[in-house]
Amino acid sequence: MKAAHAVELPVAIVGAGFSGTLLAVNLMRLGVKVVLIERDERQIAKGIAFGTRQPEHLLNVRAANMSAFPDDLGHFLRWMGFSAKEEASRFVSRLAYGHYLRELLVNAMAATPDRAQIHQGEAVAATFADDAIAVLLRGGRTVACRSLVLALGNFPPSPLPLLAGLSTDTYFPDPWSSTATQGVDSLEHVVLLGSGLTASDVIVSLHGAGFSGRITALSRRGLQPRAHADVGPVVSPPSRPEARGSWLLRQVRERAANVGWRAAIDELRPHTQHLWRGHDEPAQRRFLRHLRPYWDVHRHRLAPSVAGQIDEFKQSGRLEFVAGKLLGARPHGTRLLLDWRPRGEDETRTMMADRVINCTGPEGALARADHPLLRDLVRQGRLRADPHQLGLDVDRSGRAFDTAGMPQDRLFAVGPITKGEAWEIVAVPDIRRQVWDLARYLGNAHWVGGEGL
């Protein structure tokens, strides 16, 4: 009787952003009961990435590759009403994609009304028994489930001790806060700490909010994301590269010299996760220490129109990307004085700013994650950090390793918090495959096919 009862229990998914929503939709399509738990109802079926209300925020992947389903790669194109090749190459707004995800969830729940529930609340603890897991929500409610999946998305940027204690009017630790770009029309100088995709989004948002002053994007290397080509490249993926380490890097550089750097990078897409897994931990650490910033700006690109807008700001003198290290910050009236040292120099410089926004990117270290359920699972010994502090330690199926290094059959994770295992697991094409595979595993439908990316 216990086994039969356990089969009827749902799969509980904590986090209803892109990863959690898509996993839930795939499970419902397979007839599996699902409970979605989300503490912020505004993020349901959207998450931070697609929850923006600003139409100027565009996807960083062409519409042709944004289908939610690996077995139907034209799904999003049909939803948008796109048919021509030019439209398939477009970079549509993230706002539109958020509507797409929400419609997928609503339709899946309507088709199987007895198989899915959404609980708006914060999961704070979980108790594991032989035949069930009880997830405790803040306020005392509990959700019984047979498996628990953590789909928590990206954690906020890591706190910067150098800026602790500064006025909330001058320092904004969360770049996605609605207040970070409010009241900027009268400001003269905004400093962004970080120069990647998050900084690019904030630059566009500042302009949309009426900011007409100067922007300085300060990062260790001063690199900025590259742009996609106007038209998607025609890439014939080669067989999986056998080279490793510096030899692999040499091969990619040689290939880039022959076909262009975009094509050389794009050819690796089907193999990136395998290449990451094929390197041992020391080699992975060397990549993260020396090559990660360069990989990020070439692999994770901007829509051409966004890149063009940022180039215009640079050419007009309104925007500057600088390489250096922040050394300190102190109030100066209603403004801030920032002490920093340019990369490769010994002299300290000072610049005045009206506002500083933390765009350093998502935090990955489990020890600094501000989530009560994670803290509870760590306390129980059911979670551990991956070796590189990029997120949770999981196996290829998404099963979480406990502190003894054993994979757990009822505790899983998906999305960016599994970056340590897969490396490339932040873009839609990667996550849709991951949740597709996990849904088949949890739904005992391993025989269903997919596109294999």
Q: CATH 3.50.50.60 residue ranges in the chain?
A: 2-155+363-442, 161-226+302-358
**Residue 161, number of CB atoms within 10 A of its CB:** 7
Residue 313 has pLDDT above 90, yes or no: yes
Q: How far is CA 154 from CA 23, 158, 365, in A?
A: 16, 11, 11
Q: Any idea which fold 161-226+302-358 has? A: FAD/NAD(P)-binding domain (3.50.50)
| Nearest residue to 356 (alpha-carbon basis) of 162, 160, 171 | 171
- Residue 155: pLDDT band (50, 70, 90) is confident
Q: What is the mean pLDDT of the chain?
A: 90
Residue 429 in this model has a pLDDT that exceeds 50? yes
- 8 A C-beta contact, residue 320 and residue 314: yes
In this prediction, residue 357 carries a pLDDT of: 96
Asked if the model's pLDDT at residue 202 lies above 90, the reply is yes
How sure is the predictor about 234, in pLDDT bands with cuts at 50, 70 and 90? low
- % of the chain exceeding 90 in pLDDT: 73
Backbone angle region of 443, left / alpha / beta, with phi > 0 → left and psi within -120 to 50 → alpha: alpha
Q: Measured in whole angstroms, how far is the alpha carbon of residue 282 from the centre of its chain? A: 24
Q: Read off the pTM.
A: 0.91
Q: What is the model's pLDDT at position 361?
A: 84
CATH code that applies to domain 2-155+363-442: 3.50.50.60
